[in-house]
């Protein structure tokens, strides 16, 4: 079974490109903190995430540098030969789902504050219409 679950922050805005058959491709690097701290120093891993189609459109529209997200996907390894004729190996997370891991800061600051006292609307005088209601 190949399931990857990551939680981290984008190190830069996603790189958006068009693939074959006009499929959108988004790539970004996710900084994921390690659970174990060494000498009270925080260590992070920088994992390349690849999104295709609708996930790439989501990444393009909503994700930016610093956004904290939870990602579920598959681990994918690959290789290619670079310009110098050297074989290069890659490890990526092929994203199946994104989920925001925190609220936007500006949303939290702009939430309406509930009134301290209840406010009631004045009811107009019915002017003798009380007899026309089917209930008393």
pLDDT on residue 72: 97
pLDDT on residue 35: 82
Instruction: Give the span between the Cα atoms of 53 and 94, in whole angstroms.
Output: 12
Comparison of pLDDT for 126 and 30, the residue scoring more:
30
Give residue-wise pLDDT tens across range 58-93.
999 999 999 999 999 999 999 999 999 999 999 999
The CATH homologous superfamily for domain 4-104 is: Nucleic acid-binding proteins (2.40.50.140)
DSSP of 88-117: EEEEEEEEEEEEESS--HHHHHSPPPPPSS
Total-model pTM: 0.70
Q: Does the pLDDT at position 41 exceed 90? A: no
């Amino acid at each position: 079974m190949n399931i990857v679950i990551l939680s981290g922050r984008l190190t830069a805005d996603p790189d958006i490109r068009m693939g074959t058959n006009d499929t959108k491709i988004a790539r970004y690097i996710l900084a994921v903190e390690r659970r174990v701290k060494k000498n009270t120093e925080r260590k992070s891993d920088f994992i390349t995430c690849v999104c295709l189609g609708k996930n790439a459109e989501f990444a393009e529209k909503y994700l930016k540098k610093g956004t904290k997200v939870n990602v579920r996907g598959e681990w994918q390894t690959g290789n290619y030969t670079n310009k110098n004729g050297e074989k290069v190996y890659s490890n990526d997370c092929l994203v199946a789902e994104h989920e925001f891991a925190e609220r936007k800061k500006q949303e939290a600051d702009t939430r309406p504050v509930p009134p301290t006292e209840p406010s009631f609307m004045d009811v107009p005088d019915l002017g003798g219409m009380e007899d026309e209601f089917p209930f008393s």
